C-alpha cells in the first residue's frame, strides 16, 4: 500500500474513532444540557384549565375538520391550513402570512404549541383556543364574523357540535354577517342584536375555538437526528444510522450550548424559553409600527376570551400566567416571542416579519448585535469564525425531522 492509501486509512480510522467515542467529547454538564434539549425530556402538555375540551378526542377531531375547512372564512377560500401547511411544519415559508390579505408578521409553526403559555409573536393571547379565534375575524386572514361562523356550524356541523358542546341556540333570525369586528354594516348588525343573543353567539364562537385548540394541542414536535443522537449519548451507546453526527455537527452542538450562547433562550426540548426578547431586529419599511410585547401584554388582558373571561372554564385559582404577567417595563418594547428552533433550518426566512432571509444572515445579526430601532436590545456581540458559523449551521440542520 502506498503512502497515499495509508494516509487515507489513518484519516478514516480517526474519523470512525471520533464518531464512536463522541460521548467522551462532552463534559457531564454538557451531557446534561444536551439531554434537556432532547424530546425525550418533553413532559406531557400542561393542562389548560380554560378549555375543558382540550384533551377530548371528539373535540380534537372536530377541530381538525374545522382547521381544513375553507368555509371557515368570509368568502370560502381560506382555511387555517392556508397558512399552516401540514408538510411545512404547519407554517408557510413566507416572510409575511398571506390569506385574504397579507399580514404584518410571519406564520408561526404549530408543532409543540400546546406547551406554550403565550401565543403570537407578541403573546396577545393566552390559550390555544383564544388564539384560534383571532385569525377568524382578522380582516387580512379569514375575515369572517362570529355570527357567520355560528351559521356554518348550524348548517354543516350541528350534530357533531351538539354531541360535544350541547344544544345550539336558535340563530334563525341572526344575520349571517354580524360581529364586533368587520365592516361597518356588520358591526351595526351585531350591535342591533340583544345582549342575550350576542352572548349565545359568543359561546358558539368560543366552543369553535376550543375544538380548534384541542386539535392544535395534538400536534407534537417530531423526532429529529439530534434527538436520536441525544438518546444514544444519554445511555452511553454509539449512535447508529442518521443519529451519527459529523464532526462539524458535534462542534456546532458544542457552540450552541457554549460559546454562541444559543441555549440561553433556545432551551428545553422545544428549544424555546417561551419568553419575549428585544434582539434589535430591523423594522420592515412600509409596515405600521410594531412594538411587540409592549402592545401584546395589554391586548391579552383586554381579550374577552382570555383565561379570566366569561367563556373560560378556568377556576378562581387558575390563570396564574395571566394574573402574574409582567405588565410594564422597558424590556417589553419590541420584544418578540422566542421561536422554536426545531425545523428552523428548513423554514427560512426568519424573525417576526421575515426580515432575515438565511441562517447566515441570522448569525451575522447576532455577531454584530446592532442597536435596536427602539428599546434596548438584549444582544451582545457573538463573534464566530467562518468555520464556527458553518459548524453551528450544520448542527441546526440536525434539528429537522
pLDDT for 169 equals 97
- Maximum distance among all alpha carbons in the chain? 93
Q: Does pLDDT of 13 surpass 50?
A: no
pLDDT at residue 20, as a whole number: 42
Q: Quick count: other Cβ atoms within 10 Å of Cβ 172?
A: 7
pLDDT at 77 over 60: yes
Give the lowest-confidence range in 11-25, 164-178, 243-257, 263-277: 11-25
The rounded distance, in Å, linking the Cα atoms of 84 and 396 is: 22
Kindly indicate the confidence band of residue 277, based on its pLDDT and cuts at 50, 70 and 90.
very high
pLDDT at 3 over 70: no
Domains of the chain with CATH codes: 22-42+223-292+333-397 (1.10.760.10), 57-217 (1.10.760.10)
CB under 8 Å to 254, separation ≥6 — which residues? 25, 26, 30
DSSP 363: H
Residue 47 has pLDDT above 80, yes or no: yes
By percentage, how much of the chain surpasses pLDDT 90? 92
pLDDT single digits (tens) 354-384: 999 999 999 999 999 999 999 999 999 999 9
CA distance 243 to 230: 8
**Residue 137: pLDDT above 50?**
yes
Asked whether the predicted pLDDT for residue 17 surpasses 70, the reply is: no
Work out the average pLDDT over 58-69.
Answer: 98
Rg of the Cα atoms in the chain: 24
Angle at the Cα of 292 (from 133 to 260), degrees rounded to 5?
A: 115
Mean pLDDT of all residues in the chain? 94
In angstroms, what CA-CA distances link 189 with 145, 193, 198, 310?
A: 11, 7, 11, 23
Residue 14 has pLDDT above 90, yes or no: no
C-alpha cell at 63: 377541530
Given a cut of 60, is residue 23 above it in pLDDT?
A: no
Does 318 have pLDDT greater than 60?
A: yes
What number of H helices and E strands is found in the chain? 14, 2
Per-residue confidence (pLDDT) for residue 9, from 0 to 100: 41
Q: What is the mean pLDDT of residues 132-155?
A: 98
Q: What is the pLDDT of residue 346?
A: 93
* Rounded Cα–Cα distance for residues 396 and 374 (Å): 30
The cell numbers describing 300, all together, are 391579552
Instruction: Check pLDDT > 70 for residue 16.
Output: no
Kindly state the cell numbers that stand for 101: 390579505
Q: Which of 318, 323, 316 is nearest to 300 (CA)?
A: 323
pLDDT score, position 24: 60
CB distance 100 to 139 below 8 Å: yes
Listing DSSP states for 111-178 in one string gives TTGGG-S-BTTTT-BSSHHHHHHHHHH-TTTT---HHHHHHHHHHHSHHHHHHHH-PPP--TTS-SS-
Q: How confident is the model at residue 316 (pLDDT cuts 50, 70, 90)?
A: confident
Beta carbons within 8 Å of 383's beta carbon, 6+ residues apart: 367
pLDDT tens, residue by residue, 84-129: 999 988 999 999 999 999 999 999 999 999 999 999 999 999 999 9
Would you place residue 401 in the very low, low, confident or very high pLDDT band (cuts 50, 70, 90)?
Answer: confident
Read off the pLDDT band of 284 (50, 70, 90): very high
Q: Is 307 exposed, middle or buried (0-12, 13-18, 19+ CB in 10 A)?
A: buried
Amino acid at each position: 500500500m502506498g503512502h497515499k492509501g495509508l494516509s487515507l486509512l489513518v484519516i478514516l480510522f480517526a474519523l470512525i474513532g471520533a464518531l464512536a467515542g463522541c460521548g467522551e467529547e462532552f463534559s457531564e454538564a454538557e451531557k446534561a444540557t444536551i439531554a434537556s434539549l432532547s424530546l425525550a425530556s418533553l413532559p406531557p402538555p400542561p393542562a389548560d384549565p380554560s378549555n375543558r375540551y382540550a384533551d377530548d378526542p371528539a373535540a380534537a377531531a372536530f377541530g381538525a375538520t374545522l382547521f381544513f375547512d375553507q368555509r371557515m372564512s368570509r368568502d370560502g377560500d381560506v382555511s387555517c391550513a392556508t397558512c399552516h401547511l401540514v408538510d411545512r411544519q404547519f407554517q408557510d415559508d413566507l416572510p409575511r402570512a398571506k390569506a385574504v390579505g397579507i399580514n404584518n408578521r410571519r406564520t408561526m409553526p404549530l408543532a409543540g404549541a400546546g406547551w406554550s403559555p403565550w401565543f403570537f409573536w407578541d403573546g396577545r393571547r393566552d390559550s390555544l383556543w383564544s388564539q384560534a379565534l383571532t385569525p377568524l375575524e382578522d380582516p387580512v386572514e379569514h375575515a369572517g364574523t362570529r355570527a357567520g361562523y355560528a351559521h356554518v356550524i348550524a348548517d354543516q356541523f350541528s350534530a357533531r357540535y351538539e354531541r360535544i358542546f350541547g344544544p345550539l341556540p336558535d340563530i334563525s333570525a341572526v344575520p349571517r354577517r354580524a360581529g364586533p369586528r368587520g365592516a361597518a354594516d356588520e358591526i351595526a348588525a351585531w350591535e342591533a342584536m340583544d345582549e342575550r343573543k350576542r352572548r349565545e353567539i359568543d359561546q358558539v364562537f368560543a366552543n369553535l375555538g376550543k375544538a380548534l385548540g384541542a386539535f392544535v394541542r395534538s400536534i407534537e414536535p417530531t423526532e429529529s437526528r439530534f434527538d436520536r443522537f441525544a438518546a444514544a449519548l444519554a445511555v452511553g451507546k454509539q449512535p447508529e444510522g442518521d443519529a451519527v453526527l459529523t464532526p462539524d455537527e458535534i462542534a456546532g452542538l458544542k457552540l450552541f450550548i457554549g460559546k454562541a450562547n444559543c441555549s440561553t433562550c433556545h432551551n428545553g426540548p422545544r428549544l424555546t424559553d417561551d419568553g419575549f426578547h428585544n434582539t434589535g431586529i430591523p423594522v420592515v419599511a412600509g409596515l405600521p409600527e410594531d412594538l411587540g410585547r409592549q402592545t401584546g401584554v395589554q391586548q391579552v388582558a383586554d381579550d374577552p376570551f382570555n383565561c379570566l373571561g366569561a367563556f373560560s372554564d378556568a377556576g378562581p385559582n387558575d390563570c396564574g400566567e395571566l394574573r402574574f404577567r409582567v405588565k410594564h417595563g422597558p424590556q417589553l418594547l419590541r420584544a418578540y416571542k422566542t421561536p422554536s428552533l426545531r425545523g428552523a433550518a428548513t423554514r427560512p426566512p426568519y424573525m417576526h416579519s421575515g426580515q432575515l432571509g438565511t441562517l447566515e444572515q441570522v448569525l451575522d445579526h447576532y455577531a454584530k448585535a446592532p442597536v435596536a430601532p427602539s428599546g434596548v436590545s438584549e444582544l451582545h456581540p457573538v463573534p464566530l469564525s467562518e468555520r464556527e458559523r458553518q459548524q453551528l449551521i450544520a448542527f441546526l440542520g440536525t434539528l429537522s425531522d
